[in-house]
Amino acid sequence: MRQTWRWFGPNDLVSTDDMLQAGVEGVVSALHQVPTGDVWTPEAIAARQGEIGTRRDGSPSGLSWEVVESLPVSEAIKKQKGDWRQHIENYRQSLRHLAGAGIEIVCYNFMPILDWTRTDLAYRVSHGGTCMRFDIVDFAAFDIHILRRPGAVEDFPEDVVAAAAERFSGMGAKRREELTRNVISGLPGATESLTLDGLQAHLDEYGTISPDELRGNFIAFLEEVVPLAQELGIRMCCHPDDPPFPLLGLPRIMSTEADYKAMMDAVDVPENGITLCSGSLGVRPDNDLPGMMRRLGERVHFLHLRNVQRESDQVACSFHEAEHLGGCTDMVDLVAAVVQEEARRRAAGRTDVSIPFRPDHGQDILDDLGRRSQPGYPAIGRLKGLAELRGIIATLEHRTRGLGAS
């Protein structure tokens, strides 16, 4: 398993020097400054590679840009409206430029409008640190009483609707503004942001798009880009919905193992693969993460390892980001499944034996609490998670080598 770290570029409060001290082997990054739908130019790609490859003092870092996260899919492509055909051609051109720069793994998602959704970006946990949280009652209060989306009341159970009304009535203006910012904050690192009016405009356009139609648009996108990726030697890996259940009346099509199976069957080549995010998928009680890794592992090209604590057994539930070895996912069993998959790849002679992973998200602890880093991306919290994951990996790999020797 190859240890990587997500980096948002020169403005990231975590530097290349910090990444080196954390002991990572590669970097996950993106050109967040490029508007979605535009071409990533060779010059911009090379500039980011140069930034990753340089320490604060100008000396070589020895690190390289190994995984793109994300090359975003535009809303026009998802809806097949407006300039969507040109955006697909721009996407294909960006893939050509990335391949020319030697980058072989591209993570993306097909979530409508919002790339992830949380209601609290600094939820206080028992040890005094903070984490991100999704509160279903707060979200219903936003949807019903702040956004005032038509039909929102019908999308929540009666008890949640009642609790949301009470919660909203007790909110001051500051909390209402904070909740709105949290919900519509969008992609981490992105310069683009939504307004309430902009969000409602997108929702109006999605109003007639069913899950089957969105899935058809997704397959059409894959049919355009995956054959080129295969030709270029790029492995595409789709990130799941976060959270993995419907929000704002929008269709969700990448929330379960069945969703991934349908996606892979539609364009059945190895380059059409998975970003297995244990945090996103782990929110659903009916998702078996170690089992998914064992059943779908040959197409897993990238891993996000994090954990969440579900606060009920409902599919649409409140949850918060847990410590990497806490929460509802058996991280030891999941990592064991990854190590087993790598052993299978090694025996089969595959070149992509070592699957890159990153310690996804993390709780803000110690000095993180005053850093104001990207929500979910503190330095020390992620380093703690990486250290814990590294211990699991070292133990399992040691046992695997021992069994092989005997």
Q: Which residues are catalytic?
A: 239, 277, 304, 360-361, 377
Residue 19's contacts (CB-CB under 8 Å, 6 or more residues apart) are: 5, 7, 27, 61, 63
Please name the amino acid found at residue 391.
Answer: G
CA–chain centroid gap for 363, Å, is: 16
How far is residue 104's CA from residue 273's CA, in Å, rounded to a whole number? 13
User: Residue 174, SS3?
Assistant: helix
How far is residue 29's CA from residue 52's CA, in Å, rounded to a whole number? 9
| DSSP bridge partners of 172 | none
Q: Euclidean distance between the first and final Cα of the chain, in Å?
A: 23
How far is residue 206's CA from residue 184's CA, in Å, rounded to a whole number? 16
How far is residue 143's CA from residue 247's CA, in Å, rounded to a whole number? 9
How far is residue 378's CA from residue 5's CA, in Å, rounded to a whole number? 11
Tokens of 50: 């140069």
Nearest Cα neighbor of 360 from 376, 384, 337, 346 is 376
